[in-house]
């Protein structure tokens, strides 16, 4: 989560909230009271939605919109029912929450309801990039294995016999029943002998030219 967060008071104007969001380059901003406790959340969409009805009035100018933003307090527009994460929630919890409740960001609150951070979709994507080892200098190999215990250990042993580091592993289901797919990112350019050894051990290497990008 991000610990340096931009917040805004319910009494602040939408104009000020928009400025803070722009400065912090965020699209959601937790709304906190004087005690630091979470009072709501405001998104750039909430602000646009609040201005929109005025835009339908004939003669509504940019100046009128600015005046409206300056005159309207955040507390009037914010979402009060906020989906939050707690400090003891895991990254998995956060991903499921964001998916199930269709939210773009989760304020993180402590036991007292004080906001201590925020997790955005961008943070989740960063975690995925990290976990998948994307951007680390490496090669990827895909192995189809029978769905039984011990195969991952066997593959890891083969790779380690080449003195090559595994930088990430992903083991998932496979379209074929009774099989699973294991994806390895390994820190070597020289993949040919490793692929050969894996095939000689009886595993199937997925030919990348057989799937479409």
Partner 1 sequence: MKRLAFAYHPDYLLHAPPFEHPESPERLLAIVERLRTAGLLDRLIPVTPDYAAEEDILAVHGREYLEKLESACRRGDLTLDAEDTYLNRHSYNVALLSAGGAVAGSKAVAEGAADRAFCAIRPPGHHAGREAGMGFCLMNNVAVAAKYLQARHGVGKVFIVDWDVHHGNGTQSVFLEDPSVFFFSVHEHPTFLYPGTGRRWEIGKGKGEGTTLNAPMAPGAGDDEYRLTFEEMLTPAVERFRPEIILVSAGFDAHRDDPLADIQLSDEGFRFLTRRVAELSDAYCGGRMVAVLEGGYEIGSLTSCIEIHIRELLGE
Applying CB under 8 A, the site for partner 1 has a residue count of 25
Task: Pick one of 42, 185, 194, 198: the residue that binds partner 1 (CB under 8 A).
Answer: 185
| Contact region with partner 1 (CB under 8 A), list: 41-49, 57-65, 84-92, 136-144 | 136-144
Task: Say whether residue 136 binds partner 1 (CB under 8 A).
Answer: yes
Single out the residue of 44, 139, 174, 181 in contact with partner 1 (rule: CB under 8 A): 139
Site string for partner 1, 28-67 (x = CB under 8 A): ----------------------------------------
CB 125 within 8 A of CB 9: no
What secondary structure does DSSP assign to 60-117, as a single string? --HHHHHHHHHHSBHHHHSBSS---EETT--HHHHHHHHHHTT-SEEEEE-TTSBEEE
| Alpha helices (H) along the chain | 14-24, 44-55, 62-71, 74-77, 91-100, 121-131, 151-160, 192-200
Task: Tell me if 75 sits within 8 A of 32, measured CB to CB.
Answer: no
Residue whose C-alpha is closest to residue 205's, from 136, 147, 148, 140: 140
Determine if 143 is a binding residue for partner 1 (CB under 8 A).
no
In the complex with partner 1, which residue's Cβ is closer, 5 or 166? 166
> From the centroid of its chain, how far is CA 87?
17
Question: Going edge to edge, which strands form the sheet with 166-173?
Answer: 166-173, 179-186, 139-146, 204-205
Of 18 and 185, the one with the shorter C-beta distance to partner 1 is: 185
Q: Indicate which single residue of 4, 25, 88, 209 sits in contact with partner 1 (rule: CB under 8 A).
A: 209
Name which position in 62, 175, 177, 213 contacts partner 1 (CB under 8 A): 213
Does the footprint of partner 1 cover residue 212 (CB under 8 A)?
A: yes
Find all residues with CB under 8 Å of 80, minimum gap 6, and list them.
Answer: 39, 40
Radius of gyration of the chain from its Cα atoms, rounded to whole angstroms: 25
Could you say which residues in the range 3-22 bind partner 1, by CB under 8 A? none
Fill in the per-residue mask, 188 to 207: x = in contact with partner 1 (CB under 8 A), - = not in contact: xxxxxx-------------x
Q: Which of residues 152-181 bind partner 1 (CB under 8 A)?
A: 162-165
Residues in contact with partner 1 by the rule CB under 8 A:
134-140, 162-165, 185, 187-193, 207-210, 212-213
């Amino acid at each position: 989560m991000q610990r340096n967060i931009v917040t805004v008071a319910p009494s602040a104007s939408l104009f000020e909230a928009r400025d803070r969001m722009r400065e912090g380059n965020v699209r959601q901003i937790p709304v906190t009271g004087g005690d630091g406790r979470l009072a709501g959340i405001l998104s750039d969409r909430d602000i646009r939605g609040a201005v929109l009805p005025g835009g339908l009035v004939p003669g509504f100018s940019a100046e009128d919109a600015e005046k409206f933003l300056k005159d309207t307090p955040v507390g009037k527009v914010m979402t009060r029912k906020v989906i939050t994460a707690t400090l003891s929630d895991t990254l998995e919890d956060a991903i499921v929450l964001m998916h199930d409740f269709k939210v773009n960001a989760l304020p993180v609150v402590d036991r007292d309801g004080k906001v201590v951070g925020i997790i955005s979709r961008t943070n989740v994507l960063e975690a995925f990039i990290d976990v998948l080892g994307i951007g680390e200098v490496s090669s990827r190999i895909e192995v189809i294995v029978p769905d039984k215990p011990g195969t991952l250990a066997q593959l890891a042993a083969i790779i380690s016999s080449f003195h090559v580091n595994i930088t990430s592993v992903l083991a998932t289901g496979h379209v074929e029943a009774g099989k699973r797919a294991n994806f390895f990112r390994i820190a070597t350019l020289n993949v040919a002998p490793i692929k050969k050894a894996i095939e000689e051990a009886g595993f199937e290497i997925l030919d990348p030219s057989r799937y479409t990008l």
